[in-house]
Amino acid sequence: MMCRCKLCGKEFDHEEAEIIDCNCGCGGDNVLCPNCGYEVRLPREYRLQRPKLKKEDTLFTKVRRIFQMGN
Protein backbone atom coordinates (compact mmCIF):
# COMPACT_ATOMS: atom_id res chain seq x y z
CA MET A 1 0.00 0.00 0.00
CA MET A 2 1.13 3.53 -0.75
CA CYS A 3 1.55 6.60 1.46
CA ARG A 4 0.53 10.06 0.28
CA CYS A 5 2.46 13.24 1.10
CA LYS A 6 0.21 15.94 2.57
CA LEU A 7 2.37 18.72 1.12
CA CYS A 8 2.92 17.79 -2.54
CA GLY A 9 0.34 14.98 -2.92
CA LYS A 10 2.81 12.41 -4.30
CA GLU A 11 2.09 8.76 -3.57
CA PHE A 12 5.09 6.61 -2.68
CA ASP A 13 5.93 3.21 -1.24
CA HIS A 14 6.61 3.48 2.50
CA GLU A 15 9.16 0.65 2.36
CA GLU A 16 11.47 2.57 0.02
CA ALA A 17 11.29 5.87 1.92
CA GLU A 18 13.92 7.01 4.42
CA ILE A 19 13.02 6.52 8.10
CA ILE A 20 13.38 9.57 10.35
CA ASP A 21 14.50 9.21 13.95
CA CYS A 22 12.51 11.63 16.08
CA ASN A 23 15.12 11.87 18.91
CA CYS A 24 12.60 10.95 21.62
CA GLY A 25 13.39 7.23 21.56
CA CYS A 26 10.13 6.02 20.04
CA GLY A 27 11.88 4.51 17.02
CA GLY A 28 10.70 6.89 14.35
CA ASP A 29 7.20 6.68 12.89
CA ASN A 30 7.86 9.18 10.11
CA VAL A 31 9.39 8.83 6.66
CA LEU A 32 10.63 11.43 4.19
CA CYS A 33 8.68 12.10 1.01
CA PRO A 34 11.05 11.27 -1.88
CA ASN A 35 9.65 14.19 -3.92
CA CYS A 36 9.71 17.18 -1.54
CA GLY A 37 11.35 15.90 1.68
CA TYR A 38 8.32 16.55 3.90
CA GLU A 39 7.92 14.29 6.95
CA VAL A 40 5.01 11.90 6.44
CA ARG A 41 3.62 9.98 9.41
CA LEU A 42 3.14 6.30 8.71
CA PRO A 43 -0.35 4.81 9.06
CA ARG A 44 -0.78 2.74 12.22
CA GLU A 45 -0.73 -0.63 10.40
CA TYR A 46 2.73 0.10 8.96
CA ARG A 47 4.37 1.33 12.15
CA LEU A 48 4.76 -2.16 13.59
CA GLN A 49 6.47 -3.42 10.42
CA ARG A 50 9.24 -0.80 10.31
CA PRO A 51 12.53 -1.56 12.09
CA LYS A 52 13.11 0.55 15.18
CA LEU A 53 15.98 3.02 15.17
CA LYS A 54 16.23 3.13 18.95
CA LYS A 55 19.83 2.97 20.07
CA GLU A 56 21.15 0.63 22.70
CA ASP A 57 19.66 1.51 26.10
CA THR A 58 22.73 2.49 28.06
CA LEU A 59 22.89 4.96 30.91
CA PHE A 60 24.37 7.58 28.57
CA THR A 61 21.56 7.26 25.98
CA LYS A 62 18.88 7.42 28.69
CA VAL A 63 20.34 10.63 30.15
CA ARG A 64 20.79 12.15 26.67
CA ARG A 65 17.16 11.36 25.80
CA ILE A 66 15.97 13.07 29.00
CA PHE A 67 17.86 16.26 28.10
CA GLN A 68 16.65 16.17 24.47
CA MET A 69 13.01 15.90 25.56
CA GLY A 70 13.43 19.05 27.66
CA ASN A 71 14.20 21.21 24.61
Write down the H helix ranges in 2-50.
44-47
More confident residue, 32 or 47: 32
Compute the distance between CA of residue 62 and CA of residue 12 in angstroms, rounded to an integer.
Answer: 34
Q: Are 42 and 29 in contact (CB under 8 A)?
A: yes
7 pLDDT exceeds 90? Answer: yes
Q: What is the mean pLDDT of residues 49-63?
A: 66
Q: What is the mean pLDDT of residues 41-58?
A: 65
More confident residue, 51 or 46: 46
CATH 2.50.20 holds for 2-69 = no
Beta-carbon contacts of 24 under 8 Å, excluding residues fewer than 6 positions away, are 65, 68, 69
Q: What is the mean pLDDT of residues 18-36?
A: 74
